[in-house]
Structure 1
Amino acid sequence: EFGAVGDGKTLNTLAFQNAVFYLKSFGDKGGAQLYVPPGRWLTGSFNLTSHLTLFLEKDAVILASQDPTHWEVVDPLPSYGRGIDLPGKRYMSLINGYKLYDVVVTGDNGTIDGQGLLWWDRFNSHSLKYSRPHLVEFVSSKNVIVSNLTFLNAPAYTIHSVYCSHVYIHKVTANTSPESPYTIGIVPDSSDNVCIQDSSINMGYDAISLKSGWDEYGISYSRPTANVQIRNVDLRGASGSSISFGSEMSGGISDVEVRDARIHNSFSGIAFRTTKGRGGYMKEIDVSNIHMVNVGTAFLANGSFGTHPDSGFDPNAYPLVSHIKLHDIVGENISVAGDFFGTKESPFTSVLLSNISLSMNNNDSDDSWRCSYVDGSSESVVPEPCPELKISFESFYGRAEAL
């Protein structure tokens, strides 16, 4: 209807843009649907509009152009101050929503393919002109649904929701090559009331990563990620983590529940990353009913992880990591049970471990847990955690009440 050709070769950016512009007029009439039929629809970046459903039929594939000139260049996000890869601007994501309300990206298991190999090669060869684009990004939007789709080969992040409220992501499959550099699946970033469920995510770096801004920019923007539920997911973070918090967490991350997750073939299972200069906090996080297989480090908490956007960060902005509950977790073929490395200036506190059974792939139980500048309690944990985490629940809670 808008002149698009689904041959995988014809560029359809203008057709998508014209279709969205036309459908925008139906926003005050109950909204509209942009229907993508079977075919291979090559396009550069384009924007969605409010009160719109983008629907991909079965065997419909939206293909991202591999020509960087087909991707608009935009300013960095204010809570980051620069792109994720380079100082300065960034390439616009393939499918974008900016200050939208009531928008749905769904289908009958259609596919959105970022064809990321070009971007991965340029990242590895240090030949990027601007920071890589994401596959789908919503900025300052509310009431967003992404469902029933397959996402392939994202240049960087697959689904990025930043400064958003009420985001529901379910029944999605997201895959990139295990060798793809720093590709991340779903990234709730300075967003609240987010639910991710019934999905399979296999990434080169992190499968799901919660963030909230970078150093002084994130502290200044001061928009936390909060009230996040992650459940019934199958995850692989090949060189990173299946579920990570940070390291860009300067706006704060809190009130997160993760349950019923299958984690496999990942460098680490659950990771908490931060460093001096971040400020912010990670607290009130509950992780339970997890099954891990073939994982390097089951639990990683590192207070000296990551870089800074520039020299303007405050070295005395120490992050707070506290009230982390990890329980009802089983692991097979695990190399390291846990690394918990806080900092002298800001130790990790109130880390609670219970009902955890990890089958290690080595016999050196003395090296299963490594800890410094952390305190917490444990109950029914195998192998036995380090002394800093072995305070009994009764003693720990008694001490907390006394304090």
Structure 2
Amino acid sequence: MNSLSKNHTDSSSNVCIEDSYISTGDDLVAVKSGWDEYGIAFGRPSTDITIRRITGSSPFAGIAVGSETSGGVKNVLAENINLYNMGVGIHIKTNMGRGGFIRNITVSHVYMEDVRTGIKISGDVGDHPDGNFNPNALPAVKGVRLNGIWGQRVIQPGLIRGLKDAPFKGVCLSNINLHSAQRTRSNTPPWKCSDVSEGSVQVSPSPCFELASTNGAGGCSDHFRNL
């Protein structure tokens, strides 16, 4: 197994990151593709990225996509991941002004322990390199499949916040169990969501109502059928 301080993939294709232990003060593995108007102009996406058999710890994220995704990110597979003492387990992140897209992201077979937030998909992360970004350049997030994720001592299982003018679509959650004894003493809802659609199956604690039903979850139908 390799020992790494961080692995950062930017505007790259056909990349495999595997069999590594990573301990860092930043995201363990980050997939990016350019920053705001510069990434849009360069226009080179990160595609066909495989991340597997990674173990690590960080105050930030374990597996991250973004937040600089202005050239687009698609076809990312992360599997067999073990995370300890994390800020966020899985973080898919972007912002207004980014443009670009995040599409066809699959994360499966993840174990996490002592984590602040298990799953975070957010449209309000990251600053801008300068004031020349276009606030109307909205990212398109579609086709995020999360399956087989188990965690202990996870304070908040999920936080999913799309953009009002660019809702996240095709977010499919399955076979997810993220619990915390600390949370049972609180009245705080375990999941928080907005501007997101599709569905879930076998998720505990139950996700937010936007993702709670499998009825009519057209974007998740194939995913759920193959479980």
Matched AA of 1:298: G
Q: Against the structure 1 CA distance between its residues 344 and 199, is the aligned structure 2 distance closer, same or farther, given a 3 Å change threshold?
A: same
Q: Which of these residues, 185, 191, 208, is aligned with residue 12 of structure 2?
A: 191
TM-score by length of 2: 0.93
Aligned to 1:369: 191
Matched AA of 1:376: E
3-state DSSP of counterpart to 2:28:
strand
Partners of 2:177 and 2:19 in 1: how far apart? 25
Query: Any residues of structure 2 matched to 1:233-312 within 5 Å, and which?
Result: 233-238=54-59, 240-312=60-132
Structure of higher CA gyration radius? 1
Aligned to 1:202: 23
Partners of 1:253 and 1:400 in 2: how far apart? 23
Q: In the alignment, does 2:135 pair up with 1:315?
A: yes
TM-score by length of 1: 0.53
Alignment check: 8 A CA contact 1:214 1:248 kept: yes
Q: Which runs of 4+ in 1 moved over 3 A?
A: 398-401
Unaligned runs of 5+ residues in structure 2 are 223-227
Aligned to 1:226: 47
Alignment check: 8 A CA contact 1:206 1:236 kept: no
Aligned to 2:145: 325
Aligned to 1:388: 210
Q: In the alignment, does 2:7 pair up with 1:174?
A: no
Task: Give deviations 1:215-258, integer Å, cap 9, x for gaps.
Answer: 000000000000000111102222x1011111111000100001
Task: Give deviations 1:18-58, integer Å, cap 9, x for gaps.
Answer: xxxxxxxxxxxxxxxxxxxxxxxxxxxxxxxxxxxxxxxxx
Task: Give deviations 1:316-363, integer Å, cap 9, x for gaps.
Answer: 000011100001111000000100011111011110000111122321
Alignment check: 8 A CA contact 1:365 1:383 kept: no
Q: Against the structure 1 CA distance between its residues 365 and 324, is the aligned structure 2 distance closer, same or farther, given a 3 Å change threshold?
A: farther
1:399 offset after TM fit, Å?
Answer: 9.6
Partners of 2:101 and 2:156 in 1: how far apart? 25
- Report which of the two has the higher share of strand: 2
1:366 offset after TM fit, Å?
Answer: 4.8
3-state DSSP of counterpart to 2:87:
strand
Partners of 2:218 and 2:166 in 1: how far apart? 21
Partners of 1:279 and 1:206 in 2: how far apart? 22
3-state DSSP of counterpart to 1:276:
coil
1:284 offset after TM fit, Å?
Answer: 0.1
